[in-house]
Amino acid sequence: MNETVAVKPEELHDLIQNKLEKAGLKKEHATEVATHLVFADACGIHSHGAVRVEYYAEQISKGGVTLDPKIEFEKTGPSSGIVHGDNGVGQYVALKGLEHAIEMAKESGVAVVGISKMAHSGALSYYVKKAAQEELIGIAMCQSDPMVVPFGGKENYFGTNPIAFSAPRKNHEPVVFDMATTVQAWGKILDARSKNKEIPNTWAVDKDGNPTTDPYAVNGLLPIAGPKGYGLMMMVDILAGMLLGLPFGKHVSSMYDDLTEKRNLGQLYILIDPKRFTNLEVFKETIDSMVTELHSIPPANGFDQVYYPGEINQISYEKALASGINVVKNIYDYLISDDIHFDYYENTNAFGEKK
C-alpha cells in the first residue's frame, strides 16, 4: 500500500480549493467542491475525495465544465421542478438544486427536483445529509458512465448509478447511507489503483468477462445481487436521465473520453417532510430506537458490533475531524505542487486507461 499523510481537514480544503481555482474555477464554486471532497474523504469515501482533484482540474482546464454557468430553476408544479445546470461544476449545481428542493419540501410536504445537465457531482450522501439536517427525509440518485455489465451480458451498458437515503434522528446525526448499484463504485477501483492494492474478485470482470483482482484489468463492474442491482440501476437511469430528457444507458457521456465536451449528467432528489405524515418528534425518536435495537443485536463471528447502514462512515467522519484525514502521499504531493494537471485522463476509456 502507498504511504499516506495525515492532513487536517482545513488544510486539505485549502489545497483542493487552490488547485481548482488555478485550473479556472470561480472561488465560490471551488470552495463548494473542496468542502464536498473533504467531506467524502473524512467519511472514508476516498473514491470521491481528493483522488478526484486532478481529473477535475484537467476537465476544468480543457473546457469540460462551464465556468460561469447560468443556473435556472424551473418550477413545474407545486412539488416538482427542474434545475437547468448549464454543465456547471457538479457539486455546486447539485447544491443549488438541493436548496430549491428543501424549500419546496417545506412548503408543500414533498419535493421532486431534477437536475439537468451538470458535471460529476460526487458523493450523494453529502446532499441527503443536508436534507436530514433540515428535518427532511432525503433520497437522491444520479447517472454515471456506462461501465457495468448487465446481468447475463458481456458488454457494459448502465453506470454505477448510485442511490442515497437519509432520515433525521432525535439526539444524533442523521441516518445516512449511500450506495452504488454495483458491488462497488468505480471510484473504489480508482482508490485501489492509487494505493496499489488488489480488489476482491467479486467487484469486476476483465475484458474476457472473467472475475479479476487486478484494478488495472477491470473492464466492467458487476451489479449488486445480480438481477436485483441490475433492476435498480435501470430505475436510476430512468428517473435521473430519461425523465429529464437526458442521454441514458450506453449513451451517457464518458468521464474521460473528451474533456473538452460537457457531460450533460442528471440527478434527482425526492424529499419528504415527515411532519406531513406523523409527529416529527416521535418519528425521530423511533429512528433512535431502531438504531439502539440494531446495536443490541449480538454480532456474528468476525464482527465487533452491528451498525446501521452508513454508520461506519459517520464514525470515520468524526474521527477525521479530530485527528486528520489520511491522504495517499502522491495525491498530497500533487496538491501541494504547482502543477495543475498532467494530461493524464483525456482520451482514456471509462476506466482511465489509454485507448
Residues that are catalytic = 120
The candidate with the shortest Cα–Cα distance to 207, out of 219, 198, 225, is: 219
Place of cell 444507458: 249
Please tell me the distance from the alpha carbon of residue 193 to that of residue 204, in angstroms, as a whole number: 14
The torsion region of residue 86 among left (phi > 0), alpha (psi -120 to 50) and beta comes to left
Distances (CA, A) of 104 to 17, 98, 164: 31, 10, 19
Please tell me the distance from the alpha carbon of residue 100 to that of residue 127, in angstroms, as a whole number: 12
Please tell me the distance from the alpha carbon of residue 236 to that of residue 133, in angstroms, as a whole number: 24
**HSE-up of residue 142 (Cα within 13 Å, Cβ side):** 29
Residue 81: all three cell numbers together: 421542478
For residues 56 and 122, the answer to whether their CB atoms sit within 8 Å is: no
Please tell me the distance from the alpha carbon of residue 223 to that of residue 205, in angstroms, as a whole number: 11
The torsion region of residue 321 among left (phi > 0), alpha (psi -120 to 50) and beta comes to alpha
State the burial class of residue 293 (Cβ atoms within 10 Å of its Cβ: 0-12, 13-18, 19+): exposed
Looking only at the bridges linking them, the beta strands covering 265-272 and 80-84 are unpaired
Looking only at the bridges linking them, the beta strands covering 72-77 and 80-84 are antiparallel
The dihedrals phi and psi of 276, each to the nearest 5 degrees, come to -80, -5
